[in-house]
Amino acid sequence: MAKKIGILGGTFDPVHIGHLRSAIEVLEDCELDEVRLIPGAVPPHRATPMVGAQQRLDMVRLAVEGVAGLSVDDRELRREGPSWSIDTLVSLREELPSQAQLYFILGQDAFAGLPGWHRWQEVLLHCHLLVLQRPDMPAALPDALQQLLQQRQVAHHSGLQGPGGQIALLEQPPLPVSATAIRGALAEQRNIRFLVPDAVRDYIQQHGLYGAIHSI
Ligand SMILES: Nc1ncnc2c1ncn2[C@@H]1O[C@H](COP(=O)(O)OP(=O)(O)OP(=O)(O)O)[C@@H](O)[C@H]1O
Ligand SMILES: O=C(O)c1ccc[n+]([C@@H]2O[C@H](COP(=O)([O-])O)[C@@H](O)[C@H]2O)c1
């Protein structure tokens, strides 16, 4: 049987339960062998993260420690330059058997930006896309994505066939959590308990990240 591998790329500034619950639900619903969380070192498409790549990676490692089926892949920190997803996909493909099924998991907001990605039209050569709902996101998608969905969307994720090339939208209930909101809460010295794993909260506190100066 071909391996089924999910990849959840992100800035993870910081990692939170929205990422982790999504990873677990996709792992179970799509019967994947594993989901790899891949922190971006130099996100090319957004402002510089508040916290450096190594500390964001540390937090993702703490978050998935001991969680069956979830792992961390640090390849984007091991290369120079912008963390383009296409480079990540090509390097994963070089390592995996050609029949392995790759599922790139991304939220609706990230999917809406796909036509702006570096070499975006090559992305589906290497993987399927699994798009997760997020709360408060506009339903309208750019024309290029509507066309892409007409060509590539399958009605249900169970219809995704082969190593890549198709898109499924998941009906998973979204958690209304974002890294932006967590950074905002920390800046106001609010308690972020249960929005991130306790080990991540402890790390933030120990290192005084995001302006957290008190016991949070
Ligand atoms: N609550 C959530 N539910 C579903 N998907 C999510 C959720 N939060 C983040 N994601 C998805 O996880 C991936 C990585 O997200 P990212 O690290 O940018 O977190 P974020 O919470 O969106 O951060 P920020 O608020 O800084 O933009 C993206 O594809 C994003 O859409
Ligand atoms: O490769 C690109 O040009 C590109 C542009 C925007 C986003 N991405 C990827 O999309 C994923 C989610 O991004 P973000 O900003 O929500 O953390 C993450 O893996 C990014 O590397 C990739």
**Model confidence at 81: pLDDT above 90:** yes
User: Is 59 a member of any domain?
Assistant: yes
User: Is 26 a member of any domain?
Assistant: yes
Which residues face 105 on adjacent strands? 130
Domain CATH number, residue 56: 3.40.50.620
Q: Is 109 in the pocket of ligand 1 (CB under 6 A)?
A: yes
Secondary structure of 35-92 as H, E, C letters: EEEEECCCCCCCCCCCCCHHHHHHHHHHHHCCCCCEEECCCCCCCCCCCCHHHHHHHH
User: Is 18 a member of any domain?
Assistant: yes
Give Cα 106 distance to the centre of its chain: 6
pLDDT in tens, 51-79: 999 999 999 999 999 999 999 999 999 99
For the chain, give me the number of helices (H) and strands (E)?
8, 6
User: Is 157 a member of any domain?
Assistant: yes
pLDDT in tens, 157-185: 999 999 999 999 998 777 899 999 999 99
Q: Is 104 in the pocket of ligand 1 (CB under 6 A)?
A: no
Domain encompassing residue 168: 4-174
3-state DSSP: the chain helix, strand, coil percent, rounded to 5?
40, 15, 45
Instruction: Give how many domains the chain has, as a whole number.
Output: 1
Q: How far is the CA of 126 from the centre of ligand 1 (A)?
A: 22
pLDDT in tens, 21-44: 999 999 999 999 999 999 999 988
User: Is 120 a member of any domain?
Assistant: yes
> Residue 106: its pLDDT value, please?
95
**Model confidence at 213: pLDDT above 80:** no
